[in-house]
Amino acid sequence: MRGVVLTTIGFRYSVFTVMTPELSVNEVATTLRSIGYEGVELRVANLLEKIETIDFWRGNRATVDASRLIEEAPKIKKLSDENGLSIPALGTYLSADDMAGIERAMKAAKVMGCTQIRVSVPRYDGTRNCNELFKETIGRFADIEDLARRYKVRANIEIHHGTMCPSASSIYRLVANFDPQCIGVIYDPGNMIHEGYENWQMGLELLGSYLAHVHVKNARWEFSSLKGEVEKWRPVMCGLGEGFVDWREVLLALRKVNYEGWLSFEDFSKGNTITKLRSNLEYMKDLERSLV
């Protein structure tokens, strides 16, 4: 630690509504206000006609219908203002080749006072050469960069296992071709436990001005099965203090690179949602205080 000067940046905390599937968008807003959050990252996806089972992805009530995003934007802006919440990001599932969808999302984000949306890169499953995917994706994001510049809404790519960008270095190879005011990175340590782990501080230093947003969750590897003499292990989601990610180390690294963006909870562990919302915020703020 000798020679390192830490800033006094106070982190801002939001919740990605993918982790609140049983709550409506209205209920999420009032709940986050009562607990003490400053922001809400809204899940944007195509809604099912009928939700039969509540879950994080297919049966999530805390979702804004992608097909009605522009129509719903003024209502969402009003709801967030009434509850004193910022909207730091829209968590869309738009692919990089859906230019019409991306433009709609950016238009809606402007109405909401939101400055960034998530855009997905292709998955990598070995059926196509990664270099071909990389070249193709650069071409697509060149067009997205033009939209981002026009609407002043940044398109963020999430570090995510199973995609062509599972690590800080792999995603930097892509985004380094663009203006960081237009194309950014969602840093996700929990995803990097599944695939793509690199030293936290090194990765953040590499990303530099492309670091736009941070997702907060945790994961660990557990024994799955025994096939002959070979042990099989698998990654699973878990509570913030129960996994491989040492969030105190991550917070320290974020401070060292002077990160001034949001920390957005995306907790897929088991347990009561309201309890997790309260305990997660308390846990991270305790860690933040311990950095002094």
| Token reading at 266 | 């995306």
2 within some domain: no
Structural domain including 242 reads 12-289
pLDDT band at 4; cut points 50, 70, 90: very low
CA distance linking residue 60 with residue 28, whole number of Å: 12
Cβ(47)–Cβ(63) below 8 Å: yes
Residue 185 in contact with residue 207, Cβ under 8 Å?
yes
pLDDT at 52: 81
* Dihedral pair phi/psi, residue 14, rounded to 5°: -130, 180
Among 213-222, 226-235, 277-286, which stretch is predicted with the lowest mean pLDDT? 226-235
pLDDT digits 0-9 by tens, 48-57: 777 889 999 9
Give domain status of residue 5, yes or no. Answer: no
Q: What's the average model confidence in pLDDT over 202-224?
A: 97
Instruction: With a cut of 70, say whether residue 9 has pLDDT above it.
Output: no
Domain count, the chain: 1
Residue 7 falls within a domain, yes or no? no
Dihedral, 74, 75, 79, 85 alpha carbons, nearest 10? -40
Assigned domain for 1 exists: no
Torsional class of 246: left (φ above 0), alpha (ψ -120 to 50), beta (otherwise):
beta
Look at strands 262-265 and 211-216 and give their pairing.
parallel
> Model confidence over 121-146: pLDDT tens digits?
999 999 999 999 999 999 999 999 99
To the nearest 10°, report the CA torsion of 65, 70, 183, 211.
Answer: -60
Contact by Cβ (8 Å): 191, 159:
yes
Residue 3 counted as domain residue: no
Assigned domain for 4 exists: no
Q: What CATH number is associated with residue 97?
A: 3.20.20.150
- Take residue 113 and report the two structure tokens written for it: 């006072």
